[in-house]
Amino acid sequence: MTIGKTRLSTQYTIYLIISSLLISSAFTQEVKVENIQTISDIKNLKVESTNNKNQKEIKVHVVPHTHDDVGWLWTYLEYYHGTNGSLYSVEKIINNFIHSLNQNDKRTFIFVEMAFFSKWYRSQTDETKKDQIKKFIKEGRFEFINGGYVMHDEASTYYQDIIDQMRLGLLFLKEEFDYVPEIAWSIDPFGHSTTNAYLHAKLGFKKIVLVRIDYKEKEIRRRNKALEFFWFPYYNTAAEQSELQNLSEANFNKMKKTKIFTHITFDHYCPPASLADFVLEKKLTFNEEEVKSRSLAILNDLNIWNSGFKHNKVLLMYGCDFTFTKKNKNFENLELVMDYINNHYSQLIDEFAKKNQDDSSLDFINDLKDKKIVLEYSLPTKYFAEIFDEVETWSDYHHYDFFPYADAPYSYWTGFFTSRPFLKGLVRETGHYMKTFSRYFMELMLKNQIRPEAKSNRVNEKLFEKCFQKLILDERSHGYLSTS
């Protein structure tokens, strides 16, 4: 759909709103939040309300982002440079978001995949842009999230390879920025494992953001405001687990040590339907009526998204796959309606209600009358800080994963568990060789059996790192171990 200067009618606005309402009410199953574990456990259980919302203002944390697959339809280097027919260039994306943040000191951005960012950073011959990144971090306008070299698959990867790829990215952030992320970002793997949650918790991450869980469970969690919870993937040791049978409930709770706070998105990591064309790298133009119509559709989507949570905050991921390839465009599109909503909210709602007072299908407008929705550029860290200030108690999720993943009836993403068996075996075997060599080399160093000049030889270290990088590229969520 091309917006351009075409007028958006009231009918189009109503269409967007009613579509959103139908999607949000697609399921009617009711469950008790604390007992959600697997799909088989959530049938025929009674709802226990968790709606603690007392405030009328809903704050939308707008987090501009780009999801950049480290190889999928094109290779890692083709995606980075935008060559060989690749439609995107991550190198340009990084340069463009720096330019956009310099144009407006309210804008924010996050970046996730260190395979791309480290390549860009190390290729800079001028220190100016490097200094700008450090300045944005200091100002609280830019964050590195997750920090792994890639966003790894969670179904077919070996735990040691997960640790190694995270180490490679986190080491870069520590050395160059003295930066240690606390939020994991696992938005593209097709299902989520307890091992991944456990490893992230042990690596020091406090929160994790997920997207792809079974569509039925996601809808149930939406209805019960259970999209955020503490995930307890495992007990700490087998010894502790064997002792649990004889523990009182109080002591049982004390032993549940390894946990990570989990946020599951209401929908996808791309914006809702009313904002979808805002991130298509084209400058949109609206007249006054079009701004009003689009603003109403956006408000309705955001109000629906907020309904899946216990608080009055919305984490709006403003971006999608390889977005922000053009300077300023996506930012300027959003700012057209953001400023209007923030400054004319009551006027907008009242005017629309008067024009459509006889239309019973638009009861949603009465819900918006009792609220005020404000949009602000933000970062995940700010969002989590605010929700913890607002909510004191959260539900728990114990010792279960989010496999298998289905995004529709009879649409299970399980084939990649066993596809390309030879390559899966080769990657696993190569990983073992790399780890064996690493341990052997370290043992020789500790025994002083290596020449002094070899210990400090960065050439050997970089060669070893490059070998790890080649291996790690197959661990990504769209790699040969997954769905490529």
| The model's pTM | 0.83
- pLDDT at position 245: 58
Contact (CB, 8 A) for 209 and 184: yes
- Measured at the CA of 142, the angle between CA 138 and CA 143, to 5 degrees, comes to 100
Residue 395 has which token pair? Answer: 């539900």
Window from 13-17, 28-32, 178-182, 269-273 with minimum mean pLDDT: 28-32
Cα gap 404→192, rounded to integer Å: 9
Question: What percent of the chain has pLDDT above 70?
Answer: 75
- pLDDT at position 79: 94
Arithmetic mean of pLDDT, 38-53: 40
- pLDDT at position 240: 52
**Residue scoring higher pLDDT (101 or 371):** 101
- Reduced to 3 states (helix: H, G, I; strand: E, B; else coil), residue 85 is coil
Arithmetic mean of pLDDT, 355-383: 83
Cα gap 474→162, rounded to integer Å: 11
Q: Residue 2 pLDDT > 60, yes or no?
A: no
- pLDDT at position 122: 94
How far CA 158 is from CA of 93, 191, 202, 287, in Å, comes to: 31, 15, 16, 54
Mind listing the pLDDT tens digit for each residue in 172-188?
999 999 999 999 999 99
Q: Residue 464 pLDDT > 70, yes or no?
A: no
Window from 182-186, 402-406, 428-432, 462-466 with minimum mean pLDDT: 462-466
Mind listing the pLDDT tens digit for each residue in 231-258?
998 866 555 555 555 655 555 555 557 8
- pLDDT at position 253: 56
The residues with which 412 forms a beta bridge, in sequence order, are: 406
- pLDDT at position 339: 93
Annotate 11-22 with three-state secondary structure: HHHHHHHHHHHH
Cα gap 151→190, rounded to integer Å: 12
**Residue scoring higher pLDDT (17 or 474):** 474
- The pLDDT confidence band at residue 443, using thresholds 50, 70 and 90, is confident
Arithmetic mean of pLDDT, 268-289: 93
Q: Between the ranges 9-23, 368-382, 430-444, where is the mean pLDDT highest?
A: 368-382
Average pLDDT of the chain, as a whole number: 82
> Which residue in this structure is represented by tokens 């400023």?
339
Cα gap 320→271, rounded to integer Å: 8
- pLDDT at position 150: 92
Contact (CB, 8 A) for 266 and 212: no
- pLDDT at position 276: 93
- pLDDT at position 85: 86
- pLDDT at position 40: 41
Cα gap 447→129, rounded to integer Å: 43
Contact (CB, 8 A) for 16 and 274: yes
Helix-strand-coil split of the chain, %, nearest 5: 50, 10, 40
Buried b / exposed e along 16-35 (16+ C-beta atoms within 10 A) = bbeebeeebeeeeeebbbbe
Q: Exposed, middle or buried: residue 304 (CB in 10 Å: 0-12, 13-18, 19+)?
A: buried
Domain residue limits, the chain:
1-22+52-66+277-378, 420-475
Arithmetic mean of pLDDT, 131-138: 97
Arithmetic mean of pLDDT, 311-336: 95
> Which residue in this structure is represented by tokens 């661990």?
475
- The pLDDT confidence band at residue 34, using thresholds 50, 70 and 90, is very low
Question: What percent of the chain has pLDDT above 90?
Answer: 56
Q: Residue 378 pLDDT > 50, yes or no?
A: yes
Q: Between the ranges 33-37, 88-92, 422-426, where is the mean pLDDT highest?
A: 88-92
